[in-house]
Amino acid sequence: MMMVGERHFLFWTRTFRFLCPAGLWGAAAVSAGTTNVYRYAYGPVFSDLQLFTDAGAWHSSELFEIFGTYPSDATAAGKTLSLTMQAIVANFARNPAAAPAPNWPKYGPGKTLAKLAYNAGVALSSVVQTAGSSSLDSSCDSLWNRFPESEFNF
């Protein structure tokens, strides 16, 4: 069983090593005029891929599905998600100006991003759940807002 301190450590590590930089890079790309920015959070949890109890989806855990290297005893949902993730990557490579999957909005800082495979949606038609980017970025915003902008003017 994981201790409360370990949970906090994992939350803050995930937030400030992965989520916050993704938000900053995405916002920078949009503000620089890049028109096709698609940001996502990957959410499925398959028991056969858990590093430890309650690990959740971790950084790069979607690579098993993208490359089809999931375990041989993967669930039917895991296999379907693999085909879906491969289709998403192929769609984006084929035409980066179009949404990689149905219902996937372009990223808007403070507005929208896609949550992939949350709530058991693993088929291409149901894999995207649109969410406000603040659902992931609020922890980052609360950190960045603690520093006055004047402290970063060099």
Q: pLDDT tens digits, residue range 121-154?
A: 889 999 999 888 877 777 777 766 666 665 555 5
Please count the CA atoms within 13 angstroms of the CA of 76 that sit on its side-chain side.
0
Among 133, 132, 120, residue whose Cα is nearest residue 43:
120
For residue 133, count CB atoms less than 10 angstroms from its CB and return exposed for 0-12, middle for 13-18, buried for 19 or more: buried
Contact indicator for 64, 82 with CB cutoff of 8 Å: yes
109, 141 Cβ separation under 8 angstroms: no
What percent of the chain lies above the pLDDT cut of 90? 29
What is this structure's pTM? 0.77
The confidence score (pLDDT) of residue 149 equals 60
Average pLDDT (37-57) is 77
